[in-house]
C-alpha cells in the first residue's frame, strides 16, 4: 500500500538536499531562514505594546551574518528575500569564493574584504545609519521651528 506524504515532508526534503546551490565553481547561493519574533497579546489590550529593548538590525543582516559564520571560506556578496510565513523569514545569500583565481583576477569583484557582513560593509542593516547625532535628535531638529526664521 502506497503511503501519501504531506507537502511539508517534501519541502523539508528539498531544503535538506539543497544545502548549497553552486552556480559556478566560484559563486554559491545559500538558503537560510531567520526566526521572526511576534508579540504575544493573550487577548488583553494592556499587553499590546512593545516596551522592551528591541534588536536594532534587520533580519536580512542577521541572515548574512549567519551564512558568513557558517561558510567561513566564502565571502558574502549580497542577499535577497524569498518568502516569509508566520514563524520565519527566508533569504538566499550570494557568496563568492575569494580564493578562486577567476575572482582574484577579476577587477570588478576583487578585493572582497574579510567578514564584510560582520563589519557593516555589506548593506545598511539598520534604520538610522545616517541619522546624526541620533534618531531622536534628528527628529527633534526636523520638527522644531526656529523662531528667528519665522519672525
pLDDT digits (tens, 9 = 90+) for 77-111: 889 999 999 899 999 998 888 888 888 888 887 66
Give CA separation, 101 vs 26, 31, 86, 94, 96, in Å. 9, 25, 43, 18, 12
Does position 116 have pLDDT exceeding 80, yes or no?
no
Cis peptide before 111 (omega within 30 of 0): yes
Cell 488583553 belongs to which residue? 44
Q: What is the pLDDT of residue 144?
A: 87
Mean pLDDT of 33-51: 84
Binning pLDDT at 50, 70 and 90, where does residue 62 land?
A: very high
Hey, where are the domains in the chain? 7-150
pLDDT band with cut points at 50, 70 and 90 for residue 146: confident
Mean pLDDT of 114-120: 69
Beta bridge partners of 80: 92
User: Of the segments 2-6, 7-11, 99-103, 106-110, which one has the largest average pLDDT value?
Assistant: 99-103
| 2-17: average pLDDT | 64
pLDDT at 23: 62
Give me the helices (H) in the chain, please.
7-17, 59-70, 101-104, 135-142, 147-150
Least confident of 28-32, 48-52, 110-114, 138-142: 110-114
Q: What is the rounded average pLDDT of the residues 29-58?
A: 84
Which is more confidently placed, 114 or 64? 64
Amino acid at each position: 500500500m502506497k503511503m501519501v506524504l504531506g507537502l511539508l515532508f517534501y519541502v523539508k526534503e528539498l531544503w535538506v538536499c539543497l544545502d548549497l546551490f553552486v552556480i559556478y565553481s566560484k559563486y554559491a547561493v545559500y538558503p537560510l531562514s531567520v526566526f521572526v519574533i511576534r508579540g504575544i497579546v493573550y487577548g488583553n489590550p494592556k499587553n499590546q505594546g512593545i516596551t522592551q529593548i528591541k534588536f536594532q538590525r534587520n533580519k536580512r543582516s542577521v541572515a548574512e551574518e549567519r551564512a558568513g559564520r557558517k561558510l567561513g571560506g566564502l565571502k558574502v556578496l549580497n542577499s535577497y528575500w524569498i518568502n516569509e510565513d508566520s514563524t520565519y523569514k527566508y533569504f538566499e545569500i550570494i557568496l563568492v569564493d575569494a580564493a578562486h583565481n577567476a575572482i582574484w583576477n577579476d577587477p570588478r569583484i576583487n578585493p572582497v574584504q574579510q567578514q564584510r557582513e560582520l563589519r557593516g560593509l555589506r548593506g545598511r542593516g539598520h534604520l538610522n545609519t545616517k541619522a546624526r547625532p541620533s534618531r531622536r535628535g534628528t527628529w527633534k531638529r526636523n520638527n522644531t521651528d526656529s523662531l528667528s526664521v519665522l519672525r
